[in-house]
Structure 1
């Protein structure tokens, strides 16, 4: 006899991984280790991933690993598990065999447990897990029990912005504020339409830190640093004393901000006035000496002309040198007016005026620039509070919770409750936690997980966290790499030891030369930053970038820097050349027996992907891309959309034309009429349009009116049949129908609303088909979507994106400088101008973060290939050495010239080659799957296939004779009783059952009469008294079995169980109540009584059930 000896576990393990280092393998192995120790532990292990695809993959791997282990087909795992689970390393071979047998037996048991209780297999995305917790707290949060989760925040934003604009003219304070905003925009020549500006900045309210900023600012109208953090509770907002308080609060906020705006505008105006005065004074001096601006050297006196015209661009280096006395270059050496100029400069006061002007400029420019940047957004900033209030009302009215709300609301719950209570509410205790992709976790998500992590670690259970700072590419949606870099160590310091952090250093994905190239390249990058702070941050992030080599295949890397060329008087851009070379490379690889499905093209944006996919299609190369998979690219879908537009407005001639064009393209592709033919026919009178009536199916327009009266899904089904689109299977049409079904579940199911939604969403991924694996085509996708994937061959055709922040990037920043410190946190658009403001530190920090974001994107892209990597970029014309490289092509040039393999780089040709191309004829490749395609597409009128039967017929399956009537009445009384909380609910319950078809109007009086007799019984009166908490028809779960007692009433810790019966008394009824009682006692209640209420033909009887 032997036992499984547990070694002393390391409760907290943090794996810092790199691309291809086997982090998923490690997570699965640790999960399996916990299961081998306890085969039933899967219920108490929480594994968190960040995408549904990663969740499915992890579940699949766990099941696969257990299957292989139980079959004795996983030697690597067996060796690892013996090492990890047994203390005695001096065991004999016989002991080892015993251990292996037990490991295999436990693997079989664990696998069986998971498969038989798959719903309790807790591997989920972080959002799914948080939703599970949130739904357990709907009562505490006063949320609707069946609230909808809304993923589309843009749709919600459009709705609340529209609601806000509709208040203009009705709300005095808001109207005045938006009028001032409009006039301010007009003065800046930005137009009067402010809706889009509000919408653009309104997107910020969905960000965690912005929600917190706004909430803090609202707390008693105190500065953010003095307020309590955390999101507002929607119901607390709703229960505030009326709109009067909200209006007063808004008025006070607007008043304070208006005062600050006037102060900031005064500061800005003061600078502009003084600088313009300096300019005019200088121009008067120049004119007074008989001189003109053109008499001076370029970049000197013209400065005064600019500032007189309120152009305050930075003075040139020459002017700065003149003011500092380093040079006297006011004029050229051979100037014909040099005496006059010298007289003016030295004796006429121009030099003195220049010095005074530049001193004032340098001293006051930061405040002026700060004022100018703040004023761009300050009006919308005030409106963000109104949008936040509208959002709270919107989700309450619509009974929904936005996906962006989850972390905010949950943070409030978890911060106010201890972890055991949270677990109790969820209904599961998680002893162990495994968290994947930790670098993509947001600050709020981590704060929400932290109490649960503390709870697990405090009980000496395992918490395993895996992440890679270098693959943190989701900062724009909250991902915070600082959590993995340093915050986790700070938060969990009491559990940290020198053995807590581990590194996965080997790369199992890529061939040797790809790993060597990436090691050298990314080791060099931090040295290319002039900023010492930038170097420090990059060194911390890329400290573990060097990877070991596992695979011995050589691999191949090619980089080509391409310059624009001129030919026949035309410029051939470098991107056009890159596309041509891309096609050549793909065709060459295909000729060398490399399957198309093994190639991937990675791009920075969807627009670039669309451009590449279209180019490949033109060259007859099959492509799978987000653009090609969009439903709008299907002619059949275009026809259906055109038909819906025409149905909504029969005078829509454009829709009518599109119907003809698309219908002909599908059914008569040989017919290609000139668009004038369509115009001619469409311009005819309404009674004479032979083309429309002759080409389209008979009675199309007549049937369209009938279709319009049907629900949206049924309407589209009828259009499919009428337009003969259901003759062959079509993935686009099927997905389009699924999309309509999804739309009608949550939104208004009319044609107009759907067409509006389609117009807004037709370019998004949600409106695309899902392609099965195995298609032999080149994959085109963004780098963000490629994260976690691998391909034998990877092309990066446009490696030239900017490393700088986007001009639409919004920075939320604060300052101690007057008067801006009174604003609290203020949103500013990133620009180079911020570098000479009181917000300069935040701007520089954003520059560095943006550089790291884009470097991480490059790292993700470079680490996707297993065999070959092809990079195309723009040739660098001008070599410069900024503090931070501004673009990827500049970074490539600098790195290729200085890294370990620079001897392979030819700077004149702009080419780099490392290794030899793969011999694909000898490579084992994933075979192309043979797809079994459907030959027909099922599309029928459901009414000819399905007959609906009333619920009442299913509910009362009795003989239709007089003898059965009393029994049927008893069943109906039973149906009412089991749903009653108290006698006051009788009318409401009867109405609900009538709506469902279970009761008729004729049933109402007989049921009420019988219920009055039943409620007259003393024991029944006790059961329905208000002192009890009532659990009616609640499911009991125990040992994988379910039971539903009709009524359980509870007071303090005492419980009484009641069950209603319509048949004859039977011993099995007593046994049933004994079972209920045991299960309820196991929940910690004392059973004070068990009763059966028999409903007879003319009366009722209460029977107390005693004994066990």
Structure 2
């Protein structure tokens, strides 16, 4: 690989702490692997001396796999120390290349005595821990209620009065839970609490030195500067337009008053507040007669400035003394809250300790506590010569504190991109990266260095220009948290590409009036946008485009397209449905809709009912489902029999007192419920759930519904959750139901496995978060008109790592509640941080595109949006953006009045790197529909009756011309096609079975294992072996034999293979294959696919040249044993356990399988768009690999 100068610096620099700021598509992972490879091979550093940390298990596994492949490739070189490299490969499995939590787990077990931890601890399941957490809260609150004296109050009762609703104490419990989750991410939560509580005692001078005061000063300046610039722009318009002299004088007074207030801020808060309160905006004196359009524009600018000033006047309604007095009054309740949360944490820890469970936060805190011992920290530091941290932008304070204790002065390598930090909801803190970025860029110390990688090797020039155009205009340290300057902007790194393709923006105005088509008027906005994107996709697929990966022009396929959105909730399933209707194959995992699916709802209601019969909603749900099979009339009859009380009581009464058919049906229904209730007490939940599926027939019923395969998939996922539950410490149906409810509430592991494989030719629909790390030739960024979510304003108390505890002011005597000055400051800060995260999400989305980027968004009122987009584009206006589309359009149209050209039906704005199109709702739906086509259809609809009669006669007398073709099935397996060919060539000679079945009286009791079964067992094990483990030990015969023995036993233990079949597997055969040249090539490949199913259209005449009417494609179904990528081409393997004896027998064997392997090769090449370089028949028993020609 050819490295850039900056990449080489990152790879070769030693004896320094390096921060590598790697922009999107800059080859960060390849660089990291290359640096590690050189350290291992060239410096003879053992992999045991490397600590490589990342944030997901899949990323760690991929890193091991790629490093193994890189080291395997070294063995092909002549001057390499093979013994050393082989030793490193064999150690990779146990190397410290893992998630940070896996590292913490190892360290806590190694030093359990120092951490005060039982070394046999288990990591709790997230849902199980969530249930324990709720139990700890319930127990604590019960104890605290009992401590409240009849005629007095306690700290707890004061909090209950302040922070509970009229009906229950859920709000206070939620507050304690949120505070707990916040505190466990602080390296020293005791110090943080003490510092935060001290802010409530500040005087005026101390306030301005505190984080609150510094943040307020910054916020005021930003808003006032925004107002001043708006008024200045309005004044400039007046000055340049004749007839607005009076308006100019008025505006001069306005921005003079704003300027005075800004000067007063230098004197102090109260001086500023007095000056601010004195600003009065007189009635606007425009001049519509002189120039109505200019007058309206000036008025809009002035009104916006007026809104800023009045917003500040409202938020800063108290003088500083009063504001600080309110905060001082809230100190005691905040101390009570800290105490209550600490009590809860102790109780929760005890519950976990009873079951010897830890959570991820416990791991981090225990690790930090252990590393506070200087001797242990020094021992760990000595163990690792190099420390690497991938995705550094996603660390938090706790993780940073841990890492600081294990790195040396000159061995820390951090790589990431703060512009792609999008996990603040998981408490990732991008300011850690930013702080180091700023410090290292100014560093004169030889031990710290910053390297910036700005070359993008993923995207074409059009995409790069599109990204830069937007982010140079909107991203800054204030919003986005980093300057998008010369170092941060993207530079094209691709050597070749096709024609320049501009980024497209499609803006749809979702506004209806009396002339709007009723169908359009009633269509939801999401569906309208989905239909528009579907038509855009249809217009592109099958058209030629230049593929930068292959360096060749080819036709665009569905798999080349990704549709990204901020959230798939309420959108993803709509897109999938619309795409399906329009014939576009799409992949959508539907994770967020999983628990809302009909089949999961019915089964969960059934489980609820089995656990407790006295529940009306689950009872009616199950009764009216196919499980109960009661119709509406029957349910109504039961209700009318007893109109009062619960429905359960009415059903019981009807069952016991009536003797008709409905009563008998009810009795049978309740007998089944009682039997299932008994089963639930004696069976483990996984077996019980499967029994329910079979007893009710519900699993097979949903399989027959539309989308049946996915519905059955969803039920299998619920079984998997039951398996997770079985491995927890919880037991019983009641706790399983709670287990699932907590998973649903916290959105744990919601995604069911999709029926469509992601490697198939489908459009992918996913969130921006899930797209991180992926790339697509064509990206549609959808839903950009959707508004940002700003829900934190509703919370009583906010917690912030810098600003501390920021509560509402609550006075129970006055029954008053209002935000404190601290909370207002924190709200503004949170909003800026949220907007910064949204901006980085936009960066991630736009940089997923390789060749083409298409942005789609809907707005309510295009005219008003155009006015807003063409404003100054300063920080204030960027802060006020409602959604992603606002930022994009502000970047494109700021300080301009857009001139929209083109037909009325399709307005078009052409810019250097963008094409912007504007549509009404109706126009968006008619997009790509030809006027000529519509006219032709209308003419056909008005055809004369005689012609229509002739057409009817013609159709009624129609005779199918290809009747003979019906003898050929529509779908065949490759083996069946091969058999057809052989039969045709044999000229009617009957096929002789390989084995004649013996009469039962001649068969011994112990059934003989057939050769086919032995071959299947060997084949199954070959496909089940973990590649990462194979790569690590393949070069070491002893280690490989050990792995193969272990894996064979695993297949038996997990009941995947019968013991007697496992014994027939010759491990020597498998070892010989993986140590062969072909086996080494496969293990060295970056991409290996095993057991690849396919359906492929094939011309029957290729098999049966004389077949009549065989001009319609035949669907051939098959399974490719194995294929791997080598130099951009597939190497296809077909495993066989056949033997041959002599050259004639060998030739006959090759001829026998030639058709089959060529079928596989043709299907693989056509379905993936990548050629097949070699077709290899692997005779595994004989240890021979034969290349098969066409």
Shorter chain as denominator, the TM-score bin is 0.5 to 0.7
In 2, Cα distance between the equivalents of 1:442 and 1:358? 32
Instruction: Give the structure 1 partner of residue 1078 of structure 2.
Output: none
Whether the aligned pair in 2 keeps the contact of 1:15 and 1:467 (CA below 8 Å) is: yes
Question: Is residue 2:507 matched to residue 1:561?
Answer: yes
1:448-597 equivalences in 2 (<5 Å):
448-454=402-408, 457=410, 462-487=411-436, 496-497=445-446, 500-526=449-475, 534=478, 537-539=481-483, 543-550=487-494, 551-553=496-498, 554-568=500-514, 575=526, 577-590=528-541, 592=543, 594-597=556-559
Output the TM-score relative to the length of structure 1.
0.58
Superposition deviation, residue 792 in structure 1: 2.5
Secondary structure in 1 matching 2:687 = helix
Whether the aligned pair in 2 keeps the contact of 1:646 and 1:655 (CA below 8 Å) is: yes
**Number of aligned positions between the proteins:** 744
1:270-419 equivalences in 2 (<5 Å):
366-367=323-324, 380-418=337-375
Secondary structure in 2 matching 1:895 = helix
Question: Is residue 2:131 matched to residue 1:131?
Answer: no
Instruction: Give the structure 2 partner of residue 720 of structure 1.
Output: 693
Instruction: Specify which of 767, 777, 780 is matched with residue 795 of structure 1.
Output: 780
Instruction: Give the structure 1 partner of residue 565 of structure 2.
Output: 603
Instruction: Specify which of 728, 734, 737 is matched with residue 716 of structure 2.
Output: 734
Q: For residues 656 and 29 of structure 1, do their structure 2 counterparts lie closer, same or farther at Cα, with a shift above 3 Å needed? A: same
Superposition deviation, residue 566 in structure 1: 0.9
Secondary structure in 2 matching 1:169 = helix
In 2, Cα distance between the equivalents of 1:616 and 1:489? 48
Superposition deviation, residue 21 in structure 1: 0.8
Instruction: Give the structure 2 partner of residue 147 of structure 1.
Output: 121
Question: Is residue 2:144 matched to residue 1:168?
Answer: yes
In 1, Cα distance between the equivalents of 2:455 and 2:744? 43
In 1, Cα distance between the equivalents of 2:695 and 2:319? 74
Instruction: Give the structure 2 partner of residue 893 of structure 1.
Output: 889
Instruction: Give the structure 2 partner of residue 293 of structure 1.
Output: none
Whether the aligned pair in 2 keeps the contact of 1:604 and 1:782 (CA below 8 Å) is: yes
In 2, Cα distance between the equivalents of 1:722 and 1:697? 12
Whether the aligned pair in 1 keeps the contact of 2:808 and 2:820 (CA below 8 Å) is: no
Instruction: Specify which of 172, 177, 181 is matched with residue 159 of structure 2.
Output: 181
Q: Give deviations 1:866-889, integer Å, cap 9, x for gaps.
A: 222222233453526662432233
Q: For residues 599 and 123 of structure 1, do their structure 2 counterparts lie closer, same or farther at Cα, with a shift above 3 Å needed? A: same
In 1, Cα distance between the equivalents of 2:493 and 2:529? 31
Whether the aligned pair in 2 keeps the contact of 1:168 and 1:175 (CA below 8 Å) is: no
Comparing 714-723 with 128-137, greater Cα deviation is found at 714-723
Question: Is residue 2:819 matched to residue 1:868?
Answer: no
Instruction: Specify which of 68, 78, 86 is matched with residue 101 of structure 1.
Output: 78
Whether the aligned pair in 2 keeps the contact of 1:55 and 1:125 (CA below 8 Å) is: yes
Secondary structure in 2 matching 1:539 = coil
Instruction: Give the structure 2 partner of residue 828 of structure 1.
Output: 807
Instruction: Give the structure 2 partner of residue 769 of structure 1.
Output: 752
1:9-48 equivalences in 2 (<5 Å):
9-37=14-42, 41-48=46-53
Larger Rg: 1
Question: Is residue 2:598 matched to residue 1:619?
Answer: no
Superposition deviation, residue 619 in structure 1: 3.3
In 2, Cα distance between the equivalents of 1:327 and 1:721? 77
Q: For residues 467 and 607 of structure 1, do their structure 2 counterparts lie closer, same or farther at Cα, with a shift above 3 Å needed? A: same
Q: For residues 489 and 131 of structure 1, do their structure 2 counterparts lie closer, same or farther at Cα, with a shift above 3 Å needed? A: farther
In 1, Cα distance between the equivalents of 2:121 and 2:54? 24
Whether the aligned pair in 2 keeps the contact of 1:17 and 1:466 (CA below 8 Å) is: yes
Instruction: Give the structure 2 partner of residue 203 of structure 1.
Output: 178
Instruction: Give the structure 2 partner of residue 1095 of structure 1.
Output: none
In 1, Cα distance between the equivalents of 2:342 and 2:535? 55
Superposition deviation, residue 911 in structure 1: 5.7
Secondary structure in 2 matching 1:509 = coil
Superposition deviation, residue 618 in structure 1: 7.1
Superposition deviation, residue 891 in structure 1: 1.9
Question: Is residue 2:842 matched to residue 1:858?
Answer: yes
Q: Give deviations 1:138-176, integer Å, cap 9, x for gaps.
A: 222222222222334644442222122211332238973
Whether the aligned pair in 1 keeps the contact of 2:390 and 2:415 (CA below 8 Å) is: yes
Name the Cα RMSD after superposition. 5.1
Q: Give deviations 1:374-428, integer Å, cap 9, x for gaps.
A: 899776455323323333333323322121232223222212234565539xxx9
Superposition deviation, residue 471 in structure 1: 0.8
Q: For residues 864 and 702 of structure 1, do their structure 2 counterparts lie closer, same or farther at Cα, with a shift above 3 Å needed? A: same
1:685-1084 equivalences in 2 (<5 Å):
685-686=654-655, 700-701=672-673, 703-710=675-682, 711-724=684-697, 730-762=712-744, 764-771=747-754, 772-800=757-785, 801-802=787-788, 806-807=792-793, 811-812=798-799, 825-828=804-807, 837=821, 844-873=828-857, 874=859, 875=862, 877=865, 879=868, 883=876, 884-887=878-881, 888-898=884-894, 909=907, 914=913
Whether the aligned pair in 1 keeps the contact of 2:52 and 2:387 (CA below 8 Å) is: yes
1:648-663 equivalences in 2 (<5 Å):
648-652=611-615, 654-659=617-622, 662-663=625-626
Superposition deviation, residue 814 in structure 1: 10
Superposition deviation, residue 754 in structure 1: 0.8
Whether the aligned pair in 2 keeps the contact of 1:183 and 1:192 (CA below 8 Å) is: no
Superposition deviation, residue 23 in structure 1: 0.3
In 2, Cα distance between the equivalents of 1:490 and 1:562? 45
Q: Give deviations 1:292-314, integer Å, cap 9, x for gaps.
A: xxxxxxxxxxxxxxxxxxxxxxx
Question: Is residue 2:398 matched to residue 1:444?
Answer: yes
Secondary structure in 2 matching 1:583 = helix
Whether the aligned pair in 1 keeps the contact of 2:394 and 2:421 (CA below 8 Å) is: yes
In 1, Cα distance between the equivalents of 2:753 and 2:772? 18
Q: For residues 590 and 902 of structure 1, do their structure 2 counterparts lie closer, same or farther at Cα, with a shift above 3 Å needed? A: same
Secondary structure in 1 matching 2:407 = helix
Output the TM-score relative to the length of structure 2.
0.54
In 1, Cα distance between the equivalents of 2:596 and 2:117? 40
Q: For residues 397 and 498 of structure 1, do their structure 2 counterparts lie closer, same or farther at Cα, with a shift above 3 Å needed? A: closer
In 2, Cα distance between the equivalents of 1:384 and 1:931? 64
Superposition deviation, residue 193 in structure 1: 2.5
In 1, Cα distance between the equivalents of 2:33 and 2:687? 46
List gaps (5 residues or longer) in structure 2.
1-10, 201-271, 285-313, 544-554, 640-649, 704-708, 811-816, 917-971, 975-1037, 1043-1190
Secondary structure in 2 matching 1:762 = helix
